[in-house]
Structure 1
Amino acid sequence: MTSVGPLLRGWRENRRLSQLDLSVAADISTRHISFLETGRARPSREMILRIADCLDLPLRERNRLLLSAGFAPVYGETSLSNPRMAAIQAAIRQVLTGHEPYPAVVVDQRWNLVDANAGLALLADGIDPDLTANVLRASLHPEGLAPRIVNHGEWRAHLLHRLRRQIAFTADPELTSLYEELRGYPCDQPEPEIEFPGPGDIFVPMRLRHDEGELRFFSIMATFGTPLDVTVAELAIESFFPADDHTRRVMTEFAR
């Protein structure tokens, strides 16, 4: 296991902070920051948590820092099936069912599908169930949703850009592997490097081919506001909304 000093230095550099920047934010001397990073000083549990908070680290990584310094993890990682998570499960189910007939999914940090509502059936129709286990893989795989996405290049660029930002925040190697996999999928459309809006554009829609005509969706991401558990902190709900009246009518009829 990597010792705490190199981990602290790695995260500080990941956040593009100097030792002086971190010392000011954490109210610790620059000299002590240097000693912690080189192993000349051993941080207390409280010191690690203070620095981790200043670096805005995910709860999983805060636990990893504690373990590397010889301390027990502070933040639990509770299965959703645990009775203690009943309130979380109820909140998720309320959001999912309340959003019908429009699609909504619950994913973990690595975009694995945790739960979904009935509206997802329209998006997932005809996709291999093995692909639907991961939402990003199902969206961009050539045997997934990708062939039905009218603006495949634009939507793909949007998803990959969002994933790159998440990797920068979490430094999760599994997300990096997923990114490299997704980037290797074929795409026969231009992929804009920058999301530059056209006249009247206010978001990047997902434009989907359908028997009833093109459907257009935009999405909203929601997370739990005050998580103290790794599982809860890594859950996200993506809710898709109709971007025009035609899509709204088709989704309403589909639900019937």
Structure 2
Amino acid sequence: MTSAVAHPPRPFGELLRQWRERRRVSQLELSIQAEVSTRHLSFVETGRSTPSRNMVLQLAEQLDLPLRERNRLLLAAGYAPAYSENSLDAPQMSAVRDAVRQVLTGHEPYPAVVVDRRWHLLDANASLALFTDTVAPHLLKPPVNVLRASLHPEGMAPHIVNLGEWRAHLLSRLRRQVEISGDAELVALAAELADYPCDQPEPEVDLPGPGEIVVPLRFQYGDAVLTFFSTVATFGTPLDITLAELSIESFYPADAQTADALRARAGKP
């Protein structure tokens, strides 16, 4: 088991106030939700009172904090972390690995990837080569960042027909993730990706085109344009940080032409 927090914790009250303000919740609202007095909550934020372990967990629950940040709050308050952080290859994660591999294999001949909270590629099925064959080798050196490989001018970007639309969609997802997590590395990644060139308009809001119900990925594959939509799966009741931060993104054909091309590529009838 690895350490959940690698840096010295900041004062508990400061961290709590930071998260409360990030969530746009007043002291009064949080005190009602957590069933503590506003006066006591104010004292906790200013360091005049020390919260109990249960109170820390209750406040973190009401603020909907990621498990990693709940551990940080506990450490800042002087308590041991509550949630483990096991690497995906740890023995106790064998059932998770088997489940993930089953999902990836069962999704063939369509691409699917597994990423962590910072969009690092953890696993993928063989069909991902449809996308990665166009990516420069230096972008595929571990740790591979899926967003960087997608939007970099030497990555998938030159082959994405609707680059402006898809790029805006991905950056919007990343901004929401930054807002939820407050992760400094994701902030830096968002700034890096925003600087990548794009010669197409980038919509500020996802709006459907004629007949569209999802934001599509239109990918140039040889002489054909393949169209996909994607779904994201997460584990529903995680109590481990690694598991809570795991996402499986699966790409599906959005039309019969794409489905036929993918089956033909895989040698399936």
TM range (shorter): over 0.9
Alignment of 1:50-89 (within 5 A): 50-89=58-97
Distance in 1 between residues matched to 2:10 and 2:198, nearest whole Å: 39
Alignment match, 1:95: 103
Task: Indicate whether 1:155 and 2:166 are aligned.
Answer: yes
**How far apart are residue 179 of structure 1 and its match?**
0.3
Alignment match, 1:139: 150
Task: Indicate whether 1:214 and 2:222 are aligned.
Answer: no
Alignment match, 2:250: 239
Q: Is the 8 A contact 1:205 1:217 kept in 2?
A: yes
Letter in 2 for 1:171: G
Once the two structures are overlaid, the 10-residue window that deviates more, 167-176 or 192-201, is 192-201
What are the Cα deviations for residues 31-85 of structure 1, in whole angstroms up to 9, with x where unaligned?
1110110000001111100000000000000001111111111100001111100
**How far apart are residue 190 of structure 1 and its match?**
0.4
Distance in 2 between residues matched to 1:200 and 1:211, nearest whole Å: 25
Alignment match, 2:212: 201
**How far apart are residue 200 of structure 1 and its match?**
1.9
Distance in 2 between residues matched to 1:172 and 1:147, nearest whole Å: 29
**How far apart are residue 129 of structure 1 and its match?**
3.9
What are the Cα deviations for residues 122-179 of structure 1, in whole angstroms up to 9, with x where unaligned?
1111313442411100110000000000000000000000000011000111100000
Distance in 2 between residues matched to 1:106 and 1:176, nearest whole Å: 21
Task: Indicate whether 1:180 and 2:191 are aligned.
Answer: yes
What's the TM-score once normalised by structure 2's chain length? Answer: 0.94
Letter in 1 for 2:199: D
Structure 1: which 5+ runs fail to align?
none
What's the TM-score once normalised by structure 1's chain length? Answer: 0.98
Alignment match, 1:30: 38
Distance in 1 between residues matched to 2:120 and 2:210, nearest whole Å: 35
The root-mean-square deviation of aligned C-alpha atoms, in Å, is 0.8
**How far apart are residue 11 of structure 1 and its match?**
0.3
**How far apart are residue 248 of structure 1 and its match?**
0.4
Alignment match, 2:234: 223
What are the Cα deviations for residues 104-124 of structure 1, in whole angstroms up to 9, with x where unaligned?
000000000000001101111
Alignment match, 1:117: 125
Aligned residues: 256
**How far apart are residue 13 of structure 1 and its match?**
0.4
Match of 2:230, SS state, is strand
Q: Is the 8 A contact 1:101 1:255 kept in 2?
A: yes
Moved over 6 A (4+): none
Task: Indicate whether 1:250 and 2:261 are aligned.
Answer: yes
Q: Is the 8 A contact 1:212 1:250 kept in 2?
A: no
Distance in 2 between residues matched to 1:234 and 1:81, nearest whole Å: 15
* Matched-pair identity in %: 63
Letter in 1 for 2:221: H
Match of 1:119, SS state, is helix
Alignment match, 2:5: none
Distance in 1 between residues matched to 2:166 and 2:252, nearest whole Å: 16
Distance in 1 between residues matched to 2:33 and 2:137, nearest whole Å: 47
Distance in 2 between residues matched to 1:102 and 1:199, nearest whole Å: 25
Alignment match, 1:48: 56
Residue number among 2, 9, 21 corresponding to 1:13 in the alignment: 21
